[in-house]
C-alpha cells in the first residue's frame, strides 16, 4: 500500500464552487447524478492544469459530460480509486479558469456496502458516513477537506418505506411523484468539504424543541429515531440545549442554520458524526432512558452530543486543510467537550476520568508500533488515525496552551482563530499562530508537541538547604524513541505545582533571582524547557512536600521519589483534588507492585497497613458525611476507593505479568473488602435512595459510590452479600443498579454465585431481548468475566441469534470487550485468545476494514509480553498478514506491528 506524506501536500488544482446531487434511492441500485461547477484554482500561480483526477471507488459510471458535451470512454480513465479526465479544455465551452460544469451519473449498491462508509443501509434506513474518505464511494469528487463547496441535494425515494428524507441545511422544496415515490430538496448555504455531507432516508419519528440563540434567533431542534426509541431522546435533547448555551457563554459561538437535526442509526463505525446541520449518531451515543441505560452511558450521550455540536465551529466553520491536521478539529473539540462535561458535573472527577483513560490507553499507544505525533507526518489509511493520540493527547495539547496563556488570553486566541479562519480549511500551525498573536506568548518550542511522538518523562528530585532556606527542584525530561523518531528535542512542559508545609499549607513561591513579595503566589506553572533544569525556591523555612503536576498540567510520566508517608500526606492534605487522587493511585500501585514481587518470589503477601488504614479513614469520613452534612463529592470518594486498573498496571510494567497483576490486584481488593466490610456495608445502605431516577451529577455520584461498596462486599463471598446483590439486580428501578449487580454476579468466583448468575443472565436476556443496546451490554458483561472458560462462552455467544458481526456495536460488545478488558483470558498461554482474535480480524477484513483494523490493537502490543506470548501473538499477526486480500486498513496496522 502507498504511504501518503504531509510533505507532499499540494493545494488542489481545481475547486468545486457548487455541488448539486440527485439521489434516486434504491437498495440494490441507487443512481447518483451530480452536477459540479468547477474551475481552476486561481490561488495557484501559473495554474494551467488540464487533467482532472477525481476520487471514486465501488461504483459504476454511466455517463460523464462537461458543459453538456458527452465524454466517451476514450476521453477518461477509470481506475480502482479514481476517474481521470485527460483534457478538460477539450470539452469546456470556455477556459477552465472561468469555470465549467461536470455532470456525472453513477450507480452504487447501498445494500452490499458492509464497510459502513459512503451510502449504506442500516436496518430499515439509508444513511451515510463520509469522514474521512467515504464520499468517494457515493460519486466521483475531489474528496479532500480543502475543497469546499455549496451543496444542494435532492433525494427521491419510495414514500411508504422512506417517508423522511434528510440532508444538510434547509428543506427548500418537496413533492410527490408517480409510482408511490416522493422527493425533497435540501440546500446548505455554508461551504463545506464533502466529508461533512449527509443523507438519511427512513421511516423515522422525531421529537422537537427550540433553542433561542444569544441574538434571539429561534432554532428548531429535532432528534430522529425509529418509533420504538422515541422514549429515549429526552436526555440527548437536554444535552444539546445545554451545549448550545455553553458554547455561546464560554466560546462566544452561536449556531448558524435555522434547524439542527440528529439521527440515530444502529450500524455505525464511530460514535457519531458532525455533518453540517445533520449529525448522525450511533444509537449507543444518543439514546438514553433510565430503564435501559446506565449512568455511564447517560454521561457519554451528554459528552458526544456536545462534542458533535461543538464541531459546528471547531471543524465545520473552520475545517482541516488535509487529514494530517485532524487533531486541529478533534483535539480542540475533545478539549471543549471535556470542559463542558466538567461544568455540567464534577470538575475533579471529570479530570480524573480523562487522565486515567489517557494514562492507560493513550500512553500505551505512544509506547506501541502505531505511535505517531499529534500531527502525523505520514499514513497509509487515514481511518487508522482516528486515535487516542489525535483525540485525547490532542486535547491535552490544547489544554497546555491554556495553561501557558491563562484563560483570558486563551479565549482571545480562540476568538481570533475563529475570526481569522471562518470558512477556511487550515492547519494546526494556524491554530498556534492565532494563540500566539492574541496572547503575545511564544509557543515556538511548544510546537514540538505536534511533531514529536511518545510520552515524555519527567524525573524530578529535590534538595532542601536548611541553612540557606532554599528548596531546589531538579527536573530532567526525556522521551523514549518511537517509530521513525529515535531522537527527541526537549518539550516545553507546563508544570503546575505548589509546596506544602507540614500543616498542609501552601507556601509562597519565590524563585531565586526574583524579588521577595508578600503576595507571592502559592501555586505556579513552571516552564520546563530543557533536558535538565533547576528551580530554586527561596525563603523556605522547613522541608516541604512538593505537589507536582497539579491537575495533570501536561501529558507526561512523572517520577518523584515520594515516600509512602508523603503520598498519604498529599492524599489527605493537598488542596488539588486531582493530586489527592493521583497520590492515592500511586500508593495503591506501589502496594500492588510489592504484592506482585512477593508473589513472584513465592512469598505470601504482606499488605502495607498504611494503605488499609487510609482506606478505612476515607470510608469513615464518607459514612459520617452521608449521615450528616453530605458535603463530600461522592463521585470523588468512589474514585479514591477504586484501585488502579489492570490496564494501567500493565502500562506501567516493562514486561507485563498478566496473571501476576491480576492476582496481586485481586489480593489487595479482597483484603480491603474483608478489612472494611462493616464500613462498606454502612455506606452501601446510606447510599440507597427511594427518589425516582435522575441523571444529575449528585445522583450519579451516589449510585457510583453505592455500587463501588457493593463490589467490595461481594468480594467477601459471604452468601448474604451475594443475596443482596441478586436482590439489587432484581429490584433495581434503573439500569445502572441492575447492570452493576449483574456484573458482580457474573464475575464472582464464589460457589454460591453460580446459580444466581445463571438465573440473572437468563432473566436479563428475557427481559431486554428487544432492546439491542441492552443486549450488547449482556454480551459484554459475559465477555469480560475473568473466570476460566470465558472464551468458550464468548464463542457460543458469537452464534447467538442476537449477535451479528456486521454490526460494529455487537462486534465491540463481544470481541473487543473480551480482547481488551479480559487480560487473563485473552492472554491465556494456550494462545487460543490470540487465535480467536485473528480469526475475527480475518472475517471483518472483508466486511468492514475499519473495524477489523481497530480490533487488532491488542495484538499489536506483543513487545510488552514474555517470550512465549510474544511468539504466539506474532504468529497470529503473521497469519493475518498472509491473507491475500488484506484491506489497506489492516495491512497498515499489521505491517507496522511486525516491523
Ligand atoms: N465523528 C467523529 C468525531 O466527531 C469524527 N469527526 O470525532
Ligand atoms: Zn470529533
- DSSP characters for 247-304? HHHHH-----SSEEEEEEESS-SSSEE--TTEEEEEGGGT---TTT--HHHHHHHHHH
Q: Which of 263, 268, 272 to mutate to test the pocket of ligand 1 (most atoms within 8 A of CB)?
A: 272
What DSSP state is assigned to residue 375?
A: S
Extract the C-alpha cell encoding 307.
Answer: 462534542
In a 3-state reduction of DSSP, which class is residue 155? strand
Q: Which ligand is nearest to the CA of 328?
A: 2
Kindly report the protein residue whose alpha carbon is nearest to atom 7 of ligand 1.
330
Query: By the 8 A CB rule, do 370 and 860 touch?
Result: yes
What's the per-residue H, E or C state across 220-234? EEEEEECHHHHHHCH
For 230, left (φ over 0), alpha (ψ -120 to 50), or beta?
A: alpha
Is the CB of 330 inside a 6 Å radius of any atom of ligand 1? yes
What's the whole-number average pLDDT of the chain? 98
Q: How confident is the model at residue 8 (pLDDT cuts 50, 70, 90)?
A: very high
Q: What spacing in Å lies between the alpha carbon of 284 and ligand 1's midpoint?
A: 14
Q: Which ligand is nearest to the CA of 274?
A: 1
Is the preceding peptide bond at 174 cis, omega within 30 degrees of 0?
no
Q: Percent of the chain, pLDDT > 90?
A: 99
Nearest CA to ligand 1 atom 6: 273
**DSSP 8-class letter at 551:** G
Nearest ligand 1 atom to alpha carbon 329: 6
Among protein residues, the one whose CA lies closest to atom 5 of ligand 1: 273
Model pLDDT for residues 841-879, shown as the tens digit of each residue: 999 999 999 999 999 999 999 999 999 999 999 999 999
- Ligand 1: does its nearest atom lie under 6 Å from the Cβ of 270? yes
Please name which of 623, 627, 743 lies closest in space to residue 678, comparing C-alpha atoms: 623
Q: What is the 9 CA–ligand 2 centroid distance (Å)? A: 23
CA of 243 to the centre of ligand 2 (A): 15
Give distance in angstroms: CA of 374 to centre of ligand 2.
14
Determine the distance separating the centroid of ligand 1 and the alpha carbon of 197, expressed in angstroms.
Answer: 13
Residue 656: the pLDDT is: 98
Q: What is the pLDDT of residue 723?
A: 98
The per-residue pLDDT for 106 is 98
Residues 6+ positions from 622 with CB-CB distance below 8 Å: 632, 634, 637, 683, 705
Q: In which order are the strands placed within the sheet that holds 278-282?
A: 205-212, 218-225, 259-265, 278-282, 272-273
Q: Given phi > 0 = left and psi -120 to 50 = alpha, else beta, which region is 385? A: alpha
274 Cα–ligand 1 center, Å: 6
For the CA of 273, the closest atom of ligand 1 is 1
Distance from residue 202's CA to the centre of ligand 2 (Å): 25
> Would you state the cell numbers that stand for residue 373, as one nine-digit string?
505525533
Bridging pattern class, strands 205-212 and 532-538: unpaired
The ligand minimizing its distance to the Cα of 279 is: 1
How large is the angle between the packed helices 735-747 and 772-783, nearest 10 degrees? 30
Q: What is the pLDDT of residues 880-890, one digit of tens each?
A: 999 999 999 99
User: Please, what's the largest Cα pairwise distance for the chain?
Assistant: 95
**Atom 3 of ligand 1: nearest residue by CA position:** 273
Q: What is the pLDDT of residue 761?
A: 98
308 CB near ligand 1 (under 6 Å): yes
**Cell numbers representing residue 700 in the block:** 450519579
272 pocket-lining for ligand 1 (C-beta < 6 Å): yes
Angle at which helix 697-715 crosses helix 658-675, to 10 degrees, equals: 100
Which whole number is the average pLDDT over 676-701?
97
Q: How many Cα neighbours within 13 Å face the side chain of 569?
A: 16
CA pair distance 873, 867, nearest whole angstrom: 10
Query: Model confidence at 1, in pLDDT bands (50, 70, 90)?
Result: confident
The half-sphere exposure of 483 on its side-chain side, counting CA atoms within 13 A, is 19
* ipTM passes above 0.90: yes
User: In angstroms, what is the span from residue 318 Cα to ligand 2's centroid?
Assistant: 13
For range 415-425, the mean pLDDT:
99
- Specify the pLDDT at position 518: 85
Pick the closest to residue 128 from 38, 62, 61, 32 (CA basis).
Answer: 32
CB–CB of 548/470 below 8 Å?
no
Residue 272 C-alpha to ligand 1 middle, in angstroms?
A: 6
Ligand 1 in reach of 131 Cβ (< 6 A)? yes
479 close to 455: Cβ distance less than 8 angstroms: yes
Of 129, 195, 271, the one to substitute when testing ligand 1's pocket (max ligand atoms within 8 A of C-beta) is 271
Q: Are 153 and 167 in contact (CB under 8 A)?
A: yes
Could you tell me if 677 and 716 are in contact, meaning their C-beta atoms sit under 8 angstroms apart? yes
Q: 517 pLDDT exceeds 90? A: no
Ligand nearest to the CA of residue 285, numbered in listed order: 1
User: Other C-beta atoms within 10 Å of 611: how many?
Assistant: 22
Q: Do residues 775 and 739 touch, judged by C-beta distance below 8 A?
A: no
CA–centroid distance, residue 309 to ligand 1 (Å): 11
Q: Which atom belonging to ligand 1 lies closest to the Cα atom of 304?
A: 4
Sheet of 181-192, strand order: 69-70, 60-66, 100-108, 30-40, 14-24, 149-158, 181-192, 170-176
Number of the ligand 1 atom closest to the C-alpha atom of 308: 4
Dist CA 830 CA 447 (whole Å)? 46
Atom 1 of ligand 1, nearest CA residue: 273
Known catalytic residue at 472: no
pLDDT tens, position by position, 229-244 = 999 999 999 999 999 9
Strands 524-528 vs 205-212: parallel, antiparallel or unpaired: unpaired
Q: Which of 308, 365, 381, 403 is catalytic?
A: 308
Alpha carbon distances (Å) from 624 to 211, 612, 689, 709? 43, 18, 17, 15
Q: What is the pLDDT of residues 621-657, one digit of tens each?
A: 999 999 999 999 999 999 999 999 999 999 999 999 9
Taking the CA of residue 311 as reference, the ligand 1 atom at the shortest distance is: 4
State which of 133, 135, 386 you would mutate to test the pocket of ligand 1, scoring each by most atoms of that ligand within 8 A of its C-beta.
386
By alpha-carbon position, which residue is closest to atom 2 of ligand 1? 273
Using the mean position of ligand 2's atoms as its centre, give its distance from the Cα of residue 270 in Å. Answer: 10
Give the 3-state secondary structure of residue 763. Answer: helix
Dihedral angle over CA of 49, 55, 56, 62, nearest 10: -20
Which atom from ligand 1 is nearest to the alpha carbon of 330?
Answer: 7
Whether 545 contacts 570, CB under 8 Å: yes
Pocket test for ligand 1, best of 276, 281, 311 (most atoms within 8 A of CB): 311
Alpha carbon of 330 to ligand 2 centroid (Å): 5
Mean pLDDT of 340-350: 96
DSSP state letter for 813: I
H helices present in 696-848, as ranges: 697-715, 719-731, 735-747, 753-768, 772-783, 790-798, 808-811, 817-821, 823-826, 832-847
**What's the mean pLDDT in 447-467?**
98
Say yes or no: CB of residue 273 within 6 Å of ligand 1. yes
CB–CB of 105/63 below 8 Å?
A: yes
Residue holding cell 486498513?
A: 889
Find the mean pLDDT for residues 823-838: 98
Contacts of 156 (CB under 8 A, 6+ apart): 22, 23, 24, 25, 177, 181, 182, 183
Residues β-bridged to residue 426: 320
Q: Which of 326, 330, 334 for mutating ligand 1's site (highest number of atoms within 8 Å of CB)?
A: 330
Q: Which residues of 242-280 are buried (b: 16+ CB within 10 A; e: fewer)?
A: bbbebbbeebebebbbeebbbbbbbbbbbbbbbbbbbbb
Rounded mean pLDDT, 450-473: 98
Q: Spell out which residues have Cβ within 5 A of ligand 2, the ion.
A: 330, 333
Give the Å distance between the CA of 893 and the centre of ligand 1. 21
DSSP 27: S
Ligand 1 within 6 A of 274 CB?
yes
Mutate which of 131, 303, 318 to test ligand 1's pocket (most atoms within 8 Å of Cβ)? Answer: 131
Distance of alpha carbon 32 from alpha carbon 119, whole angstroms? 11
Amino acid at each position: 500500500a502507498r504511504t501518503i506524506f504531509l510533505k507532499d501536500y499540494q493545494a488542489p488544482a481545481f475547486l468545486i464552487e457548487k455541488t448539486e446531487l440527485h439521489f434516486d434511492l434504491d437498495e440494490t441500485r441507487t443512481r447518483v447524478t451530480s452536477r459540479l461547477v468547477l474551475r481552476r484554482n486561481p490561488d495557484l500561480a501559473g495554474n494551467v492544469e488540464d487533467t482532472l483526477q477525481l476520487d471514486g471507488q465501488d461504483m459504476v459510471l454511466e455517463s460523464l459530460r462537461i458543459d453538456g458535451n458527452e465524454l466517451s470512454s476514450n476521453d477518461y480513465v477509470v481506475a480502482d480509486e479514481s476517474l481521470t479526465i485527460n483534457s478538460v479544455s477539450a470539452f469546456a465551452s470556455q477556459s477552465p479558469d472561468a469555470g465549467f460544469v461536470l455532470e456525472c451519473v453513477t450507480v452504487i449498491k447501498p445494500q452490499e456496502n458492509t464497510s459502513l462508509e459512503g451510502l449504506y443501509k442500516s436496518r430499515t434506513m439509508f444513511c451515510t458516513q463520509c469522514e474521512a474518505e467515504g464520499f468517494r464511494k457515493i460519486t466521483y469528487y475531489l474528496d479532500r477537506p480543502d475543497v469546499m463547496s455549496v451543496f444542494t441535494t435532492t433525494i427521491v425515494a419510495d414514500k411508504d418505506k422512506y417517508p423522511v428524507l434528510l440532508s444538510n441545511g434547509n428543506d427548500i422544496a418537496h413533492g410527490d411523484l408517480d409510482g408511490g415515490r416522493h422527493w425533497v430538496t435540501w440546500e446548505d448555504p455554508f461551504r463545506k468539504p464533502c466529508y461533512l455531507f449527509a443523507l438519511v432516508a427512513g421511516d423515522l419519528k422525531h421529537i422537537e424543541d427550540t433553542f433561542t440563540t444569544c441574538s434571539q434567533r429561534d432554532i428548531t431542534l429535532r432528534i430522529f429515531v425509529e418509533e420504538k426509541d422515541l422514549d429515549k431522546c429526552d436526555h440527548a435533547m437536554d444535552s444539546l440545549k445545554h451545549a448550545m448555551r455553553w458554547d455561546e457563554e464560554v466560546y462566544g459561538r452561536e449556531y448558524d442554520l435555522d434547524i439542527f437535526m440528529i439521527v440515530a442509526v444502529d450500524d455505525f463505525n464511530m460514535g457519531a458524526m458532525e455533518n453540517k446541520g445533520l449529525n448522525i449518531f450511533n444509537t449507543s451515543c444518543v439514546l438514553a432512558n433510565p430503564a435501559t441505560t446506565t449512568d455511564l452511558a447517560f454521561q457519554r450521550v451528554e459528552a458526544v452530543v456536545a462534542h458533535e455540536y461543538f464541531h459546528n465551529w471547531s471543524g465545520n466553520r473552520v475545517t482541516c486543510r488535509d487529514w494530517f491536521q485532524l487533531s486541529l478539529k478533534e483535539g480542540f473539540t475533545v478539549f471543549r467537550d471535556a470542559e463542558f462535561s466538567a461544568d455540567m458535573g464534577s470538575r475533579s472527577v471529570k479530570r480524573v476520568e480523562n487522565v486515567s483513560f489517557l494514562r492507560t490507553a493513550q500512553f500505551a499507544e505512544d509506547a506501541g508500533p502505531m505511535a505517531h505525533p499529534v500531527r502525523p507526518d505520514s499514513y497509509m489509511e487515514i481511518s487508522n488515525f482516528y486515535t487516542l493520540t489525535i483525540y485525547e493527547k490532542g486535547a491535552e495539547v490544547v489544554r497546555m496552551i491554556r495553561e501557558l496563556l491563562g484563560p483570558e488570553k486563551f479565549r482571545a486566541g480562540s476568538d481570533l482563530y475563529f475570526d481569522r479562519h471562518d470558512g477556511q480549511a487550515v492547519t494546526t500551525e494556524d491554530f498556534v499562530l492565532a494563540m500566539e498573536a492574541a496572547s503575545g506568548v511564544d509557543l515556538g518550542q511548544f510546537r514540538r508537541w505536534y511533531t514529536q511522538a511518545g510520552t515524555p518523562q519527567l524525573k524530578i528530585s529535590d534538595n532542601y538547604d536548611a541553612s540557606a532556606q532554599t528548596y531546589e527542584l531538579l527536573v530532567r525530561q526525556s522521551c523514549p524513541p518511537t517509530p521513525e523518531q529515535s531522537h527527541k528535542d526537549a518539550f516545553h512542559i507546563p508544570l503546575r505545582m505548589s509546596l506544602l508545609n507540614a500543616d498542609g499549607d501552601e507556601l509562597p513561591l519565590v524563585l531565586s533571582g526574583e524579588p521577595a513579595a508578600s503576595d507571592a503566589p502559592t501555586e505556579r506553572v513552571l516552564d520546563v524547557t530543557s533536558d535538565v533544569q533547576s528551580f530554586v525556591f527561596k525563603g523556605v523555612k522547613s522541608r516541604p512536600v512538593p505537589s507536582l503536576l497539579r491537575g495533570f498540567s501536561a501529558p507526561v510520566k512523572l517520577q518523584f521519589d515520594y515516600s509512602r508517608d508523603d503520598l498519604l500526606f498529599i492524599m489527605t492534605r493537598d488542596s488539588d483534588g486531582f493530586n489527592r487522587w493521583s497520590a492515592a493511585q500511586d500508593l495503591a500501585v506501589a502496594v500492588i507492585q510489592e504484592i506482585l514481587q512477593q508473589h513472584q518470589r513465592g512469598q505470601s503477601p504482606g499488605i502495607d497497613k498504611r494503605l488499609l488504614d487510609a482506606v478505612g479513614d476515607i470510608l469513615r469520613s464518607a459514612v459520617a458525611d452521608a449521615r450528616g452534612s453530605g458535603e463530600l463529592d461522592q463521585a470523588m470518594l468512589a474514585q479514591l476507593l477504586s484501585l488502579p486498573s489492570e490496564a494501567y498496571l500493565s502500562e506501567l510494567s516493562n514486561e507485563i505479568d498478566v496473571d501476576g497483576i491480576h492476582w496481586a490486584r485481586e489480593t489487595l481488593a479482597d483484603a480491603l473488602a474483608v478489612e472494611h466490610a462493616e464500613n462498606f456495608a454502612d455506606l452501601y445502605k446510606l447510599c440507597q435512595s427511594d427518589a425516582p431516577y435522575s441523571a444529575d451529577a449528585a445522583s450519579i455520584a451516589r449510585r457510583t459510590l453505592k455500587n463501588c461498596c457493593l463490589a467490595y462486599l461481594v468480594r467477601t463471598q459471604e452468601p448474604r452479600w451475594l443475596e443482596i446483590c441478586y436482590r439489587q439486580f432484581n429490584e433495581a428501578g434503573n439500569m445502572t443498579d441492575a447492570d452493576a449487580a449483574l456484573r458482580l454476579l457474573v464475575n464472582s468466583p464464589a460457589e454460591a454465585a453460580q446459580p444466581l448468575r445463571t438465573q440473572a443472565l437468563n432473566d436479563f436476556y428475557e427481559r431486554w431481548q428487544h432492546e439491542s443496546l441492552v443486549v450488547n451490554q449482556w454480551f459484554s458483561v459475559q465477555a469480560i468475566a475473568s473466570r476460566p472458560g470465558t472464551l468458550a462462552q464468548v464463542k457460543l455467544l458469537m452464534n447467538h441469534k442476537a449477535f451479528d458481526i456486521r454490526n460494529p456495536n455487537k462486534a465491540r460488545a463481544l470481541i473487543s470487550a473480551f480482547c481488551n478488558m479480559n487480560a487473563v483470558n485473552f492472554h491465556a498461554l494456550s494462545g487460543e485468545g490470540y487465535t480467536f482474535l485473528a480469526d475475527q480480524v480475518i472475517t471483518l477484513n472483508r466486511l468492514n476494514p475499519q473495524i477489523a483494523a481497530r480490533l487488532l490493537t491488542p495484538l499489536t502490543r506483543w513487545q510488552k509480553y514474555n517470550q512465549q506470548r510474544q511468539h504466539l501473538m506474532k504468529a497470529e499477526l503473521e497469519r493475518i498478514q498472509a491473507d491475500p486480500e488484506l484491506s489497506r486498513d489492516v495491512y497498515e496496522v499489521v505491517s507496522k506491528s511486525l516491523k
